[in-house]
Structure 1
Amino acid sequence: MSALSPPLTVYYGGTFDPIHNAHLAIAVGVRDALAAQVHLVPAADPPHRPVPGASAAQRAQMVALAIAGVPGLELDTIELRRAQRLQGQPSYTVDTLTELRQREGFSRPLAWLIGGDSLASLQQWHRWTELFELAHVIVVARPGNPLPQPLPPALRNCVRGGQWCTDAQQLRIHPQGCLYALPLPLQDGSASAVRQAVAAGLPVAGLVPAAVADYLEQQQLYRVHTG
């Protein structure tokens, strides 16, 4: 990265119910590959259905415990704070990015991180075309899950250059608009596997950071939730 290049901030949203080692591997992998600051953004409790296995506050606390002392990773509770202000209203990524732009300005390079499965359904997201007006979109590419080449016409019309960005430096030169694929090694792990292990009385060492395992025990989380 050039000394004159502005820093890239990547926002990694998710339920994190709970955060686990595979989540951390993705965050660290993105940090290292792109020399980026990675903000983990827990989703708020959904307004129109039962809350996840842990409350938003508990999920945010587990993220904080998981990344404590890890350079380049930060907790961002922007969605939780917005949910408190606008109780009962659904929360959309485009709203989060709009608020981030209001907070950070429109000249800083920002990116939203998604998985390849989310890319396949991106055109069903609320006001999805506006995402590229607000941020870059980075897609975690997984072995065995090829990404579309070329891009579908609707995506081509939205992204900078009408195609995949192949030069990570473009993520810093431009504040938004690029669609970039980042291949990362696949690491086993899922939140449902953690919940199932806890519900079955099995140890979760190796699945979650030690501080998160201790928190699960202290809070008696997921004891009956097998998701």
Structure 2
Amino acid sequence: MHVIYGGTFDPVHHGHLRLAIELCDRLGVDRVHLLPCHIPPHRGDTGASAAQRLRLLSLAVAGEPRLVVDDRELRRGGASYTADTLRHLRRELGPETPLAMVVGTDAFAGFYRWREWVEIPALAHIVVVRRPGPGLTPDSAPARLLAERRVGSPQALHEVPAGRILELNPPWLDISATGIRERIAAGRSPRYLLPDAVWSEIRQLGLYGACPEGNF
């Protein structure tokens, strides 16, 4: 099964990385593909450029063969729409290979606002990772979709190419990219919230208001 975990990764942190490793273990796959988006259609501008976010992500996963960076959305350019990405992947993988995409409960709650969202279950499975906060609104389109397509085990995703939804509740590291950006901008160190190599590169590039000589 091919598993993709997309996001802005602005910047990548230990919460992202720990979740990706948990996904490998729980879904029974050899690797998870991390897809940084080029222009996120559902949020404002990123704090770092696409190339800078890709560089930070590559540094973060260096030496971990189970985490693979996929830069297809950056190479494609323009707004990053999930349905387009899944179609590209489906053409590469063929019609029979199981394909799964990972989203948090907060993102899945707004799933009905995604472009061509009704087409997505035909292209891939959906793995919904439970996050702190309110769950799905009862009788909302995402809640109905989950009720119709929910499966109880990761094995069910390996059996067919697409169309099923699995909920996972892995241990959650309460780290946010927003909080890291705010901490850096305030002149406080985010060390141990993200890999040291990532923090070093952020300082070197002066990202998020970091001072190259400070914030150690």
Question: Could you state the TM-score of these two structures normalised by the residue count of structure 1?
Answer: 0.84
* Matched ranges for 1:172-191 at <5 A: 172-191=158-177
Report the Cα offset of residue 54 of structure 1: 0.6
For the residue of structure 2 that corresponds to 1:111, the secondary structure is strand
Unaligned runs of 5+ in 2: 211-216
CA contact (8 A) 2:26 2:154 kept: no
Report the Cα offset of residue 143 of structure 1: 5.3
CA contact (8 A) 2:99 2:125 kept: yes
Give the corresponding residue for 2:205: 219
* Matched ranges for 1:1-227 at <5 A: 8-36=1-29, 37-45=31-39, 51-83=45-77, 89-142=78-131, 145-146=134-135, 156=144, 162-223=148-209
For the residue of structure 1 that corresponds to 2:150, the secondary structure is coil
CA contact (8 A) 1:141 1:147 kept: no
Deviations 1:175-206 (A, max 9, x none): 10001101111211111111112112211111
Deviations 1:89-140 (A, max 9, x none): 4321000101111122121111010000111111111010111011000000
Q: Take 2:135 and 2:152, find their aligned partners in 1: how far apart are those partners?
A: 16
CA contact (8 A) 1:140 1:181 kept: yes
* Amino acid in structure 1 at the alignment position of 2:127: I
Q: Take 2:142 and 2:169, find their aligned partners in 1: how far apart are those partners?
A: 23
Q: Which sits farther off after the overlay, 28-37 or 207-216?
A: 28-37
* Amino acid in structure 2 at the alignment position of 1:39: H
Report the Cα offset of residue 45 of structure 1: 3.4
Identity of aligned residues (%): 42
**Aligned pairs, number:** 208
Q: Classify 1:64/1:41 alpha carbon distance in 2 versus 1 (closer, same or farther; 3 Å).
A: same
CA contact (8 A) 1:142 1:185 kept: no
For the residue of structure 1 that corresponds to 2:84, the secondary structure is helix
Question: Could you state the TM-score of these two structures normalised by the residue count of structure 2?
Answer: 0.88
